Amino acid sequence: MLTNKELLETAKKASENAYCPYSLFPVGACALFESGKTYTGCNIENSSYGLTLCAERNAISNAISQGETTKLIKIAIYSPKSKKCFPCGACRQWIQEFADGFNTEIILEGNSSQENLYYINDIFPYSFKLI
Ligand code: THU
Could you tell me whether strands 115-119 and 72-78 are parallel, antiparallel, or unpaired per DSSP bridges?
A: unpaired
- pTM as predicted: 0.95
> Could you list the pLDDT tens digit for every one of the 131 residues in the chain?
899 999 999 999 999 999 999 999 999 999 999 999 999 999 999 999 999 999 999 999 999 999 999 999 999 999 999 989 999 999 999 999 999 887 999 999 976 655 599 999 999 999 998 87
How many angstroms separate the alpha carbon of residue 113 from the centre of ligand 1?
Answer: 22
CA distance 68 to 110: 29
> Ligand 1 pocket: which of 16, 62, 88 to mutate (most atoms <8 Å of CB)?
88
Residue-range domains of the chain with CATH: 4-111 (3.40.140.10)
Taking the alpha carbons at both ends of the chain, their separation in whole angstroms is 28
Inter-residue contact 18 to 26 (CB < 8 Å): yes
Identify the pLDDT of residue 102. 73
Please give all residues whose beta carbon lies within 6 A of any atom in ligand 1, as ranges.
20, 23, 25, 27, 43, 45, 52, 54-56, 87-88, 91
Identify the pLDDT of residue 113. 56
Identify the pLDDT of residue 129. 87
Which amino acid is it at 57?
Answer: R
